[in-house]
Structure 1
Amino acid sequence: MEVEIVSTGGTAKTLAEAGIPVINVSDVTGFPECLDGRVKTLHPAIHAGVLAIRKNEQHMRQLKSLGIQPIDFVVINLYPFKQTILKGNVQLEEAIENIDIGGPTLLRAAAKNYQDVTVIVDPADYSMVLGELAKYGEVSQETKFKLAVKVFEHTAHYDALIAGYLRKQIKDAGFPELLTLTYEKVQDLRYGENPHQKAVFYREVLPVPGSLTGAKQLHGKELSFNNISDTNGALDLLREFDEPTVVAVKHANPCGVASAPTIYEAYMKAYEADPISIFGGIVVANREIDAQTAAEINKIFIEIVVAPSYTDEALEILKRKKNIRILQLEDISARPPKGIWDTRKVLGGLLVQDMDTELLPDMSQLKVVTEKKPTDAEMEDLIFAWKVVKHTRSNGIAIAKNKQSLGIGPGQVNRIWAVEQAIQRSGDKVKGAVLASDAFFPFPDCVEAAAKAGISAIIQPGGSIRDQESIDACNRYGIAMIFTGMRHFKH
Structure 2
Amino acid sequence: MSDIKKMYSTILGDHFPLEMTISFGEQRLVYRKRTWNIPQENGRYEERGIRYGENPDQEAALYELVNGNLILGDCSFIEPGNGLVSAITAEDMLQVGKHPGKINLTDIDNGLNIIKYLMARPAAVILKHNNPCGASCGASLAEAFDRANRADRIAAFGGAVVLNRTCDRDTAELLANNYLEVVCAPDFADGSLEIISRRKNLRVIKMARIDRLAEFERYRFVDFKSLIDGGIIVQQSAVNAIRTAMDLKPATAEWQGKTYRCDRQPTEREIDDMLFGWAIEHGVTSNSVLYVKDGCTVGIGTGEQDRVGVAEIAVHKAYIKYADMICFDRLRLSYADLELAVARGERPGEEKEAIDEQVRADRAGLPDSVMISDAFFPFRDGADVGIRQGISAILQAGGSMRDFETIEACNQAEPKVAMMFTGQRSFKH
TM above 0.5, yes or no, is yes
Residue 449 (structure 1) aligned with residue 366 (structure 2): no
> Which residue matches 2:368?
432
Which of 64, 69, 94 is residue 218 of structure 1 equivalent to?
Answer: 94
Which of 298, 307, 315 is residue 423 of structure 1 equivalent to?
Answer: 315
Question: Structure 1 stretches of 5 or more lacking a match?
Answer: 1-149, 164-175
> Which residue matches 1:403?
295
Greater CA radius of gyration, 1 or 2? 1
Q: Deviations over 1:256-298 (max 9, x none)?
A: 1000111011011111110111010000100011111111111
> Which residue matches 1:308?
186
SS of the residue 1:276 aligns to:
helix
Which of 117, 127, 134 is residue 249 of structure 1 equivalent to?
Answer: 127
Which of 283, 286, 294 is residue 391 of structure 1 equivalent to?
Answer: 283
> Which residue matches 2:419?
481
SS of the residue 1:205 aligns to:
strand
After superposition, the Cα gap between the structure-2 partners of 1:208 and 1:270, relative to the gap in structure 1 and judged at 3 Å, is farther
Structure showing greater relative contact order (alpha-carbon pairs closer than 8 Å, 6 or more residues apart): 2
> Which residue matches 1:352?
234
Which residues in structure 2 correspond to 1:136-175 (within 5 Å)? none
Mapped to 1, the partners of 2:420 and 2:112 lie a distance apart of 27
Mapped to 2, the partners of 1:380 and 1:272 lie a distance apart of 21
Question: Structure 2 stretches of 5 or more lacking a match?
Answer: 1-15, 36-48, 68-79, 252-261, 320-363
Report the alpha carbon displacement of residue 314 of structure 1 after superposing the two structures with TM. Answer: 0.3
Mapped to 1, the partners of 2:219 and 2:165 lie a distance apart of 25
Mapped to 2, the partners of 1:461 and 1:450 lie a distance apart of 16
Residue 240 (structure 1) aligned with residue 117 (structure 2): yes
After superposition, the Cα gap between the structure-2 partners of 1:249 and 1:345, relative to the gap in structure 1 and judged at 3 Å, is same
| Structure 1 moving runs of 4+ over 6 Å | none
Q: Which amino acid aligns with 1:223?
A: P
> Which residue matches 1:136?
none
Report the alpha carbon displacement of residue 350 of structure 1 after superposing the two structures with TM. Answer: 1.8
> Which residue matches 1:258?
136
Q: Which amino acid aligns with 1:182?
A: V
Mapped to 2, the partners of 1:339 and 1:437 lie a distance apart of 23
Asked if the contact 1:186/1:201 (under 8 Å) is kept, the reply is yes
Q: Which amino acid aligns with 1:212?
A: V
SS of the residue 2:155 aligns to:
coil
Asked if the contact 2:243/2:275 (under 8 Å) is kept, the reply is no
Considering fraction of residues, name the structure with more strand: 2
Mapped to 2, the partners of 1:223 and 1:438 lie a distance apart of 31
> Which residue matches 1:22?
none
> Which residue matches 1:5?
none
SS of the residue 1:303 aligns to:
strand
Report the alpha carbon displacement of residue 178 of structure 1 after superposing the two structures with TM. Answer: 6.4
> Which residue matches 1:203?
64
Q: Deviations over 1:64-99 (max 9, x none)?
A: xxxxxxxxxxxxxxxxxxxxxxxxxxxxxxxxxxxx
Number of matched residues?
324
Mapped to 2, the partners of 1:208 and 1:444 lie a distance apart of 47
Report the alpha carbon displacement of residue 415 of structure 1 after superposing the two structures with TM. Answer: 0.7
Asked if the contact 1:361/1:485 (under 8 Å) is kept, the reply is no
Mapped to 2, the partners of 1:296 and 1:210 lie a distance apart of 29
Report the alpha carbon displacement of residue 441 of structure 1 after superposing the two structures with TM. Answer: 0.1
Mapped to 2, the partners of 1:226 and 1:365 lie a distance apart of 34
Residue 373 (structure 1) aligned with residue 251 (structure 2): no
TM-score, reference length from structure 2 = 0.71
> Which residue matches 2:53?
192
TM-score, reference length from structure 1 = 0.63
Residue 460 (structure 1) aligned with residue 352 (structure 2): no
Percentage identity across paired residues of the two chains: 35
